[in-house]
């Protein structure tokens, strides 16, 4: 098992430390049927994918420890996740040379976007466990993205797939005034 640590235990500018794990999202917690659930990889790839949850769980997994920063001002230190590196899925899908951005899509039309080189970092994972247990519905069951180096609106819950793109396509909060780059250390809160 590969273990990845990205726990700085430092507060980015303007953040306050909290101990509990708040639940924050737009809309309702989706009901998920794990039998029909799938994970789709499309767009500028040589090998588009459609994985069942069983198939997803068979991919090589990693454990990640990382801090979590919400743009509204709270930070939680040292969350422990288990899942699959974004990079592992990208390698299976084999992006075309033109692919420079990705759009992550989730239930209820939630989306978020990242430059491909950021998504390929060794700490970006699709997580299915938190603190040794399957994700709870409100924290993203069955699968969520975790992007430790960005404000948490990039860490989409209830993810269903990835689209590889040539041009950047801003996601749900990014088109609603939040920063496209979302680096907490540079306090990039608003676009």
Binding to Mo ion by residue 18, rule CB under 5 A? no
Residue with tokens 């040539």: 166
Using the rule CB under 6 A, give the single segment among 5-13, 19-27, 47-55, 59-67 that binds ligand MTE.
19-27
Q: What is the dihedral of CA 74, 78, 79, 82, to 10 degrees?
A: 150
Residue nearest to Mo ion (CB): 70
Single out the residue of 59, 70, 92, 120 in contact with Mo ion (rule: CB under 5 A).
Answer: 70
Q: How far is CA 55 from the centre of its chain?
A: 19
- Pick the binder of ligand MTE from 37, 53, 110, 126 (CB under 6 A): 110
Contacts to ligand MTE from residues 140-159, by CB under 6 A: 152-153, 155-158
The span from the CA of 150 to the CA of 123, in Å, is 11
The span from the CA of 60 to the CA of 51, in Å, is: 14
The contact mask relative to Mo ion for 118-157 (x = CB under 5 A, - = no) is ----------------------------------xx----
134 binds ligand MTE (CB under 6 A): no
Cα 160 to Cα 56: distance, rounded to the nearest angstrom: 11
- Rounded to a whole number of angstroms, the minimum distance from the CB of residue 76 to ligand MTE is 8
The alpha helices in the chain, defined as continuous H runs, are 53-57, 86-93, 116-119
- Which residues contact ligand MTE by CB under 6 A? 21-26, 70, 106, 110, 139, 152-153, 155-158
């Amino acid at each position: 098992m590969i273990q990845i640590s990205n726990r700085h235990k430092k507060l980015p500018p303007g953040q306050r430390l909290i101990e509990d794990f708040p639940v924050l999202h737009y809309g309702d917690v989706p009901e998920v049927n794990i039998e029909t659930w799938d994970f789709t990889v499309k767009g500028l790839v040589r090998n588009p994918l459609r994985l069942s949850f069983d198939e997803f769980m068979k991919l090589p997994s990693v454990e990640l420890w990382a801090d979590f920063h919400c743009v509204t001002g709270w930070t939680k230190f040292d969350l422990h996740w288990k899942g699959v590196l974004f990079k592992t899925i990208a390698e299976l899908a084999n992006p075309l040379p033109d692919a420079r951005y990705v759009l992550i899509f989730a239930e209820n039309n939630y989306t978020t976007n990242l430059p491909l080189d950021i998504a390929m970092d060794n700490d970006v994972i699709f997580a299915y466990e938190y603190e040794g247990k399957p994700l709870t519905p409100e924290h993203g069951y069955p699968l969520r993205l975790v992007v430790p180096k960005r404000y948490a609106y990039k860490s989409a819950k209830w993810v269903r797939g990835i689209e590889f793109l040539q041009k950047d396509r801003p996601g749900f909060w990014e088109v609603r005034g939040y920063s496209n780059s979302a680096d907490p250390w540079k306090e990039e809160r608003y676009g």
